Amino acid sequence: MRNDFLIATHAMVYLYHRGGLISSDELAQNICTTGPKVREILSKLMKFGLVQSRLGSDGGYSLAKADVGLDEVASAVDAKFIGALHVTGDMDKQCLVSSQMGPYMEDLLQGLDRECLKLLKSVKVSQVNDDLVRLSKTDEKGRKDRQSQPSGRKSSDG
């Protein structure tokens, strides 16, 4: 499920950045995943009213809402950020630690997920886009600066 959130966020930011209707194939290519996986995620986003689609040769997907919080994206794909693949212990054992560790850790991890959602509520798709644009400009400037300066490296043989 963690990957679903990453794919969904990438799709939402790309739809915001490009505007208009975007095909699932174009989204899949940009996200570097398969078309069926993108369509599965987009279907979940559509059920939550975050994305809309239009059928036909000139169809595609677009944002359904002006500005979406990443908490909404996470909820749409039922994202779990903190979780254990295996919970330790055995509730049927007579040992206090073994019988209680699993439920205790599950409660703790669910609380951490709730805190993640609270944090994501303050991050909007538009903000992620703006941050990426800003980072791109910073990276471009850094590349230009590196290209215009001599490397100053000496060969390893002296």
pTM confidence score? 0.79
Number of helices (H), then strands (E), in the chain = 6, 2
Residue 52 pairs with which residues in a beta bridge?
Answer: 62
Q: What is the DSSP string of 98-129?
A: HHHHHHHHHHHHHHHHHHHHHHHHT-BHHHHH
What confidence tens digit (pLDDT) does each residue in 105-117 have? 888 888 999 999 9
Point out the least confidently predicted range of 12-21, 41-50, 109-118.
109-118
Q: Note the CATH number of domain 2-125.
A: 1.10.10.10
pLDDT at residue number 90:
76
Residue 71 near residue 117, CB atoms below 8 Å: yes
Mean pLDDT in residue range 48-55: 95
Amino acid at 2: R
Compute the Cα dihedral for 85, 90, 96, 100 and give only its sign: positive
Asked if residue 44 lies in contact with residue 27, where contact means CB atoms within 8 angstroms, the answer is no
| Average pLDDT of the residues in 27-33 | 97
Q: What is the rounded average pLDDT of the residues 135-145?
A: 73
The tally of CA atoms less than 13 A away on the side-chain side of residue 98 is 7
* Model pLDDT, residue 144: 61
